[in-house]
Structure 1
Amino acid sequence: MINKKIGLIGLGAMGLGMAGSLRRAGYEVHVCDTRKEIADAFARQGGVAHDSPAELAKQVDVVVSVVVNAEQTEEVLFGQNGAARAMAKGSAFVMCSTVDPNWSISLEKRLSDLEILYLDSPISGGSAKAANAQMTIMSSGSPQSYAKVGEALEAMAAKVYKLGDKAGAGSQVKIINQLLAGVHIAAAAEAMALGLREGVSAEALYEVITNSAGNSWMFENRMAHVLADDYTPLSAVDIFVKDLGLVLDTARASKFPLPLSSTAHQMFMQASASGFGREDDSAVIKIFPGITLPKKK
């Protein structure tokens, strides 16, 4: 039984799964994406498609934004046909992107001036977990914002962390998560690359490491992509160019040293500059010289 209308903007790898989770939880889900065919396909499965964020915002009192970065969020809200101009007073905007925490804090103030509630709610877990409502949401915002959004966060995620009563804390925790994720992917690629250079069987190395103390979730997940020679971008190299850049900008402001993050960022930068920016982030392994990567059998 449908219990509430909700809007979701951005039907990428994560957003599409989140929209599906909301629909299965009984929401009437209104969607919008720059790729009209994706929104129309979702509508054929039981959602409602709109041509612009403004059109969507007229129909709902909670808007969830699942776009890539702050620039795209700005466009969703304040661009031509943006949602902010159409959202009713007292409605809520849920921001799920990885952004500079200070930008998120400023966005809360800008929306408050329009009498729009705001939840700083970055997400983690990948497309498979998003599709099965098993991802993690790192949120912060006012009690009024949580009350307005209701149980929608729980409908999209297995774990919803409420980290404070104002914007910023959610984004701060997310960029620390991205610090670890980026460093772990870079380290996993380095380890696999060394094994390949030394003539170790890639399959054997993967089997041993994933059953030993050196394993990490990122090694197990991303090096499987390398073994399969599948660099389809579930999360692209350029995402970590951006996210580790945010990590370093945050630390630079307080003169806090992050040597591992800096090295990992340079590795992703090199991969991007080498033409791999839109490939899966495991493609960072391609920066290493003198190795022969596994090929599809």
Structure 2
Amino acid sequence: MTSNTNAPVVGVVGLGAMGSGMAQSLRRAGHAPHVFDVRLDVAEAFARDGGVACDTLAALGAQCDIVVSVVVNAAQTESVLFGDAATPGCAASMKPGSLFVMCSTVDPNWSVALEARLAAQGILYLDAPISGGAAKAASGQMTMMTAGTPAAYAKAGAVLDAMAAKVYRLGDRAGAGSKVKVINQLLAGVHIAAAAEAMALGLREGVDPAALYEVITHSAGNSWMFENRMAHVLAGDYAPLSAVDIFVKDLGLVLDVARASKFPLPLSSTAHQMFMQASTAGFAREDDSAVIKIFPGIELPAPDKKA
């Protein structure tokens, strides 16, 4: 890592599957990221290889020119920014003209309102949901769907490119990035549900699952989600990279956005019900490929004990 003393000080909040990879990409690009996670040991472990572990959000906000928030949803983002009386968030300590980059999947209208709320405090804002998975986050190859003012982009400089291979600029105000992410999640959720349904039918019909996977991944019916998620099913590995309840939330957002304009989404509605069923059946925290477990009368591949 080559240090860049002229670079802005960047903070990353949330060192989960995506956030930790993004922080690693920043470090690889020459930054010394300030990091915060509710699991302080995780933040400290990251900082041992370069960077600064902050024990409070207020401390991180005070020290950073740019704060990148990589948490699950709008409620957690609110907590990151505004905290409560006992535990202040980072917004109160962020300097005027600093930048908050919001990477969660949220209601676009909420993102628009947050931009205005932060502007009243002199804080710039980028609506910047992300996609690509943990491996692409770690390699700096993920996608960012961004929208914000010219001043926000000017403040971000090259920081976005340090974290993502594709940084799409979708508008000069918040909302457009979140709208595109919601549409991406429509496809992602429907594709996972369809992939699970196809694999379940193959199992029910006695097709060898490994052979089915090999054929489909080299045929027109393939999708990125089939190739990625059905590999988890073949391995019998439901350790969550993206959990069932993530798609309960995200497809719920998809339907909320469409409902506001009375726009029908029959496939999204069905996929949402499938994830809801899986969640209620006890698979909420398992990998989203566990949606296949809702299908009756099939025997799923056993865990690969060699792995």
| TM-score using structure 1 length | 0.99
Query: In the alignment, which residue of structure 1 is the partner of 2:99?
Result: 92
- Give the aligned partner of residue 128 of structure 1: 135
2:254 matches 1:224: no
Q: 2:34 maps to what in 1?
A: 30
Q: For residue 8 of structure 1, what is the aligned residue in structure 2?
A: 12
CA distance in structure 2 between the partners assigned to 1:61 and 1:212 by the alignment: 48
Identical pairs, percent: 74
Residue identity in the other structure for 1:52: T
Q: Distance in 2 between matches of 1:28 and 1:290?
A: 52
> Of the candidates 272, 291, 297, which is equivalent to residue 298 of structure 2?
291
Gap runs ≥5 in structure 2: none
Aligned counterpart in structure 2 of residue 167 of structure 1, from 156, 167, 174? 174
Deviation at 1:55, TM superposition (A): 0.6
**Does residue 206 in structure 1 map to residue 213 in structure 2?**
yes
**Aligned partner letter, 2:244:** V
1:103, distance to aligned residue in structure 2 (A): 0.2
The amino acid of 1:257's aligned partner reads P
Query: SS of the counterpart of 2:185?
Result: helix
Is it true that 1:78 corresponds to 2:71 in the alignment? no
Match of 1:109 among 104, 116, 123: 116
Distance in 1 separating the partners of 2:295 and 2:51:
45
Residue 263 of structure 1: how far off its partner (Å): 0.1
User: Aligned match of 1:239 in 224, 229, 246?
Assistant: 246
User: Would you say 1:186 and 2:190 are equivalent positions?
Assistant: no
Deviation at 1:164, TM superposition (A): 0.3
- Which residue in the other structure is 1:59 paired with? 63
Work out whether 1:18 is the aligned partner of 2:11: no
Amino acid at match of 1:87: M
Q: d(CA) in 1 for partners of 2:153 and 2:143?
A: 16
CA distance in 1, matches of 2:21, 2:75: 22
**Partner SS state of residue 19, structure 1:** helix
Q: Distance in 2 between matches of 1:284 and 1:184?
A: 12
Query: Number of residue pairs matched?
Result: 297
Equivalent of residue 165 in structure 2, options 146, 158, 166: 158
Q: 1:215 aligns with which of 211, 222, 240?
A: 222
Mapped to 2, the partners of 1:218 and 1:292 lie a distance apart of 21
Query: Which residue in 1 is equivalent to 2:73?
Result: 69
Cα distance in 1 for residues equivalent to 2:157 and 2:54? 23
Matched letter for residue 27 of structure 1: H
Letter in 2 for 1:267: M
Q: Which amino acid aligns with 1:40?
A: E
User: Which whole-Å CA distance do the structure 2 matches of 1:101 and 1:238 have between them?
Assistant: 20
Give, in angstroms, the shift of residue 296 of structure 1.
2.4
Moved over 4 A (4+): none
Give TM-score, length-normalised by structure 2: 0.96
Q: Secondary structure at the match of 1:291?
A: coil
Q: Which runs of 5+ in 1 are unaligned?
A: none
Q: Which residue of 2 aligns with 1:256?
A: 263
CA deviation map 1:229-288 (0-9, x unaligned): 000100000000000000000000000000000000000000000000100000000000
| Cα distance in 1, alignment partners of residues 34 and 88 from structure 2 | 16
What is the alpha-carbon distance in structure 2 between the residues aligned to residue 179 and residue 53 of structure 1?
32
Measured in 1, the distance between the counterparts of 2:103 and 2:11 equals 13
* C-alpha displacement of 1:56: 0.4
